[in-house]
Amino acid sequence: MHIIISAEQLKEELENENLIILDCSTKSNKAGIESKYQNIKIKGARYFDLKNDFSEKNSKFPNTLPNPNQFEINARKIGINKSSYVVLYDDIGIYTSARAWWMFKIMGHKNVSVLNGGLPEWMNKNFPIQKDYSPVYIKGNFKSDFQKNMISDIENVKSNLNNKNSLLIDARTPGRFSGKEEEPRKNLRSGNIPNSKNIPFEYVLNAGKFKEKSELKLIFKKVNTESKELIFSCGSGVTACIVYLASELVLNNNKSVYDGSWTEWASLVQ
């Protein structure tokens, strides 16, 4: 199954009875990126509510991965089956769709792709749209199969700080990474995790789509990823998944997302 698919490829799949298109857009984001298409949906799309249904509500940190049982229950509510081919998109281009992709993968679902360029690309092609989300009439039979190797917690990050065979890649902007810019979350200190490298998520994208594989290889080569286990971080675990997904296109390294990311680290480590 392709990790990313083009708008043309998705259009060809619209009559696939196993296809489920999920809109992963959120109303706001800490990157300050606004969408022109908040009231438009791809034909047949259902809503993947990242904030309310697919984040751990009891966590003190934002966007925390829900437990496998919670994910399973809410995936079934939107009609996801074990046999479903899930295609994810957002209304910015590539943003929360990458986070949703990582979530489906960590829950063991193999048939999942991200629409490269998202809704803006779909609109550019004048492909079928609708104003409202498609209703879900039948509950799905999705089953979580948690892949614990795809996530890192704070203890794992601490234990690998000086490990030459491990590399933490931070997807925040250069200003936030260097500490020259304030964090968008109030009262959160700025800076970075020791020995981490910076690949801002914007660097792996071009006009809302992933860059060509040749360009991505050069980006990762600059931070010396060869033969290393990769841990991806950002502010709260969303844009880390964009760079994680980009690495999946060109690297075979073992990799995980530090789900708590800088928000957790800066709150707990002085």
Q: Quick one: how far is CA 18 from the chain centroid?
A: 22
Terminal Cα distance for the chain, rounded: 43
Hey, what are 81's tokens?
């089956």
Closest CA to 242 of 96, 105, 112, 87: 96
- Helix segments in 109-222, DSSP class H: 118-124, 154-159, 174-178, 213-221
Distances (CA, A) of 210 to 99, 117, 146, 246, 248: 15, 8, 27, 7, 12
Beta strands in 35-95 (DSSP E): 41-42, 46-47, 85-89
Beta bridge mates, 23: 47, 89
Q: Tell me how far apart the alpha carbons of residues 47 and 194 are, in angstroms, rounded to a whole number.
A: 38
Q: Is 234 considered catalytic here?
A: yes
Say if residues 75 and 7 touch (Cβ distance below 8 Å).
Answer: no
Indicate the burial class of 116 (C-beta count within 10 angstroms; 0-12, 13-18, 19 or more): buried
Residues 65, 151, 199, 234: which is the catalytic one?
234
Beta bridge mates, 229: 166
Total length of the chain: 270
Q: Tell me how far apart the alpha carbons of residues 233 and 72 are, in angstroms, rounded to a whole number.
A: 25
List residues with catalytic annotation: 234
